[in-house]
């Protein structure tokens, strides 16, 4: 999480210089989270693309090949895990990346810095928003997989898959934050798509990794989406490459590197705004 330095012309805090009470902090966080959710629900291109695209792609491929075998499970179950990873990564990157870039351009971030609201509230509200959309994506995919695709998923596996995907979304939220501070509102969607879509393909989130060309399979372990995909597959009983602890460690390293990049991008954005 990033801490925001107090702007020299910021209004004095309503708490009289004392730290905000826990109750007031939670009420502020709840209000900000509700506003974030309402804002994104009212932007059809965000809500539809975040939820509908993964489900649509899953139905196209999962319904077509769903009952074929993919090792110990069928294709529909395999793709439920990988398209779940695809969906939560998109929700995380775009909620933070595009959202922050647009708010910076519109001056909302400057207004928030001048207010008594702690900077952590903004970050946590966006995090809650990203995870909420991610949970909706996973739930929609599970519904489609079980009712249409022919996926076989126990209640325990479904809970494990949801938990792994939501935890695995956190590094991509941090990565999205870095892009949100580094990019402008027009370039952010383009750059994120240029990174997100090829990364998802090369990580085996659209097509099983063993069906990709050899040179792509060699690149995949260096991509964070690959590691989330493998962790997701491990929850549904699929054969996975490598050790789950190694995949988790790779995502942790991604979060740390992305966090450092976010701090640098944030400081540069602050200097550009305030000199």
> Under a CB-based contact definition with an 8 Å cutoff, are residues 100 and 181 in contact?
yes
Residue 142 falls inside a structural domain: yes
Residue 157 falls inside a structural domain: yes
Residue 21 falls inside a structural domain: no
Per residue in 78-119, pLDDT tens?
Answer: 999 999 999 999 999 988 888 888 888 777 677 777 677 777
Residue 101 falls inside a structural domain: yes
Q: What angle, rounded to 10 degrees, do the helices at 244-274 and 155-182 form? A: 30
Residue 196 has pLDDT above 70, yes or no: yes
Residue 5 falls inside a structural domain: no
Give the total number of structural domains in the chain: 1
Would you list the DSSP string of 157-225?
HHHHHHHHHHHHHHHHHHHHHHHHHHS-TTHHHHHHHHHHHHHHHHTTSSS-GGGS-HHHHHHGGGSHH
Domain span at residue 261 reads 28-271
Which position has the token pair 């491990």?
234
Per residue in 234-262, pLDDT tens?
Answer: 999 888 888 999 999 999 999 999 999 99
Residue 14 falls inside a structural domain: no
pTM of the model: 0.85
Residue 1 falls inside a structural domain: no
Q: Sign of the C-alpha dihedral, residues 190, 196, 201, 202?
A: positive
> Under a CB-based contact definition with an 8 Å cutoff, are residues 129 and 96 in contact?
no
Rounded-to-integer distance, Cα 216 and Cα 245, Å:
23
Residue 8 falls inside a structural domain: no
Nearest alpha carbon to residue 225 among 238, 211, 206, 239: 206
Rounded-to-integer distance, Cα 258 and Cα 247, Å:
16
């Amino acid at each position: 999480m990033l801490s925001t330095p107090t702007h020299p012309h910021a209004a004095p805090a309503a708490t009289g210089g004392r730290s905000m009470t826990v109750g007031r902090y939670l009420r502020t966080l709840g209000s900000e989270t509700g506003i974030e959710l309402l804002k994104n629900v009212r932007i059809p291109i965000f809500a539809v693309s975040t939820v509908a695209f993964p489900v649509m792609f899953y139905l196209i491929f999962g319904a077509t090949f769903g009952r074929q075998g993919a090792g110990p499970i069928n294709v529909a179950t395999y793709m439920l895990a990988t398209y779940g990873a695809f969906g939560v990564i998109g929700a995380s990157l775009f909620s933070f990346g595009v959202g922050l870039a647009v708010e910076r351009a519109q001056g909302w971030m400057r207004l928030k810095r001048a207010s008594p609201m702690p900077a952590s509230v903004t970050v946590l509200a966006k995090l809650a928003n990203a995870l909420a959309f991610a949970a909706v994506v996973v739930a929609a995919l599970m519904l489609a997989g079980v009712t249409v695709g022919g996926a076989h998923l126990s209640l325990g596996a479904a809970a494990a898959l949801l938990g792994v995907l939501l935890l695995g979304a956190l590094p991509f939220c941090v990565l999205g934050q870095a892009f949100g501070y580094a990019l402008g509102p027009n370039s952010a969607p383009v750059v994120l798509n240029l990174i997100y879509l090829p990364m998802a393909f090369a990580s085996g989130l659209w097509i099983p990794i063993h069906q990709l060309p050899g040179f792509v399979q060699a690149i995949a372990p260096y991509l964070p989406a690959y590691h989330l995909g493998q962790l997701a597959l491990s929850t549904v009983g699929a054969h996975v490459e490598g050790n789950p602890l190694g995949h988790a460690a790779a995502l942790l390293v991604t979060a740390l590197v992305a966090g450092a990049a976010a701090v640098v991008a944030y400081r540069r954005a602050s200097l550009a705004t305030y000199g």
